[in-house]
Amino acid sequence: MVNFMNILYVYAHPEPRSFNGALKDMAMVTLAKKGHAVKVSNLYAIKWKAVLDAQDFRMRQNPYQFNPAVEQIHGVVSRSLAPDIQEEIAKVAWADLLIFQFPVWWSSMPAILKGWFDRVFVQGFVVDLEKGHAYGEGLLKGKTAIIVTTTGGTQEMYSPGGIHGDLETHLSIITHNIFEFVGMTALPSFIIFGAAEMTREEGTRQLERYRALLEKF
C-alpha cells in the first residue's frame, strides 16, 4: 500500500539556475512521480516580506503598544492576520511533511527564511504557551519536517572539531528550537557540503543521493 502525502516545500535561494535550483526542480519531479501532492513557497520568487511588524495585523488588539505575541494570538482568533501570512498558514495546516531547502549563510538560514518563521509560525497556531502546548504538545504535532541544505565550506570545516563548528549543532536552532518546539518530528537533515566547489560529476551524484531520499517518503 502506497501512502501519499501532502508536502509543503519551502524554498529559499535567490538564483533559479543555481545548484539549489536544480535540487528543487528535481524534487518537484520526483515527488510528483511518487503521487504526492506538493505546494511550493518559493520565497525569493514571491518577494516574501521578511520583517515581522505591526502591518502584519489588520485588526489590532492593542493599537497603542505593539506586542507581537499578543497580536499573533488575537490575529489567529480573529482571522485578521495579513493575507500572505494566512496563505502560508493554510499551507502548513494542509501539509503532512514540510521540506525546508536553503543554502547555509553565516552558519544559519537566509534572513528571508527566518522571516518566514517569524511571521508564519505565530503563537496560537504553532504553540499555546499558556496551556503548555509546546514541544511534545506543540500544535503542529503529527507533522514531520526536514532541512535540505548546501554549504560553501567543506564537511571538515563544519565537523565537531572543525573551524566553523558542528553544522548539526548550528542547525539544531531550527530542528529543535523550531521544529520540535512546535511539535513536529524532525528528520535528519540532508546536507551537501562544499557545493560551490563541486565538479559536475559530484553534483550529479548528490542530485541522485537526494532523489533516493525523496523516493523513500
CB proximity list for 130: less than 8 A, separation 6 or greater: none
Per the annotation, the verdict on 13 as an active-site residue is no
Of 21, 152, 162, 165, which is the active-site residue?
A: 152
> C-alpha grid cell for residue 91?
499551507
What are the beta bridge partners of residue 146?
99
Per the annotation, the verdict on 164 as an active-site residue is yes
What are the beta bridge partners of residue 102?
149
Of 9, 11, 158, 210, which is the active-site residue?
A: 158
Query: CA-CA distance, 198 to 196, in Å (whole number)?
Result: 6
Query: CA-CA distance, 141 to 94, in Å (whole number)?
Result: 13
Phi first, then psi, for residue 144 (nearest 5°) are: -125, 145
Of 164, 165, 170, 194, which is the active-site residue?
A: 164
Q: Which amino acid, 196?
A: A
Per the annotation, the verdict on 44 as an active-site residue is no
Catalytic residues: 152, 158, 164
